[in-house]
Amino acid sequence: MKKWGFLLLSCLGLTSVYMGPLSEPEVKIQNHVQSENGIAEGADTQEIEITEDQIYQGDLLLVNSEYPVHQESIRSDIVNLSANNELAQGYVLLDSDIYLSEDIAHTFSEMVAAAKKDGLRHFAITSGFRGFDEQSVLYQDMGSDYALPAGYSEHNLGLSLDVGSTQMKMANAPEGKWIEKNAWKYGFILRYPENKTDITGIEYEPWHIRYVGFPHSAIMKSKNFVLEEYLEYLKEEKTFSARVNGEKYEISYYPVTKRTTIPVPRDLRYEISGNNIDGVIVTVFPDAE
């Protein structure tokens, strides 16, 4: 069965982190005592206002049979990959009508270039972004066993893509094994792993990867979380720090009502993403110095 943070300060584009031959992230979680405003005590912060529509924007949106894609969730930088040769390097395209977020395509190309250094040269993108109309046609043609209704597929965001091998089925291909071990370094996750179908509601799809951003991909890999589990974990913990391969990140979840004010750091780079349910996640990145 098949089934798009919105605010990024002091940074251009997406963050991908290549960490050499490591196949597993080194992650250490430290829970914080929270102040009344919900952020870790001692932080130098300022208050900003978050509106309800921001729940539906960002890289950590949960899309499944319960939480559909909103119009404001769709990435604004969707491009035709075959018309942008600089984006389609190191892999082949199944056809000439494959679309994807431009930023995500850049990050995927970086990942494929790293895989090439490990001897893997047979990647293909078989599907990327689909508009609601295209998804509706696919659902009608293939039925509920192989497709999801329009608005309930991650492909409607622009953050997900189906990756194949030109040599064999992805479940058996070296490319599939490499992605399963290394995609987290570039902010991607294997969205529908084999042992989580009872949580995702989707059968094992070794070809379907989803961008969630770093360090979230590393934490999810370390804890063996799918996106449903990770977002629930964020709501339970509320605020914590994650030291990922020696770099410290601060992550906080805030529920959002009609008008919500949240604290953000004054001098550090941060991202804000909605969860497509009821709140936003603030990710504070390590001091560049």
Cβ(99)–Cβ(80) under 8 Å?
Answer: yes
Number of helices and strands (H, E) in the chain? 6, 15
CA 44 to chain centre: 28
Q: Is 76 helix (H, G, I), strand (E, B) or coil?
A: coil
Strand duo 123-127 + 92-93: pairing: parallel
Active-site choice (110, 205, 250, 271): 205
Nearest to 184 by CA among 8, 25, 58, 26: 25
Contact 230, 249 (CB under 8 A): no
Residue 135 region, left (φ>0) first, then alpha (ψ -120 to 50), else beta? alpha
Other Cβ atoms within 10 Å of 9 Cβ, number = 12
Element (H, E) at 270: strand 270-274
Q: Does the annotation mark 26 as catalytic?
A: no
Residue 241, judged by CB atoms within 10 A of its CB (0-12, 13-18, 19+), counts as: middle
DSSP labels, 113-147: HHHHHTT---EEEEE-B--HHHHHHHHHHH-TTT-
Residues with a catalytic annotation lie at 205
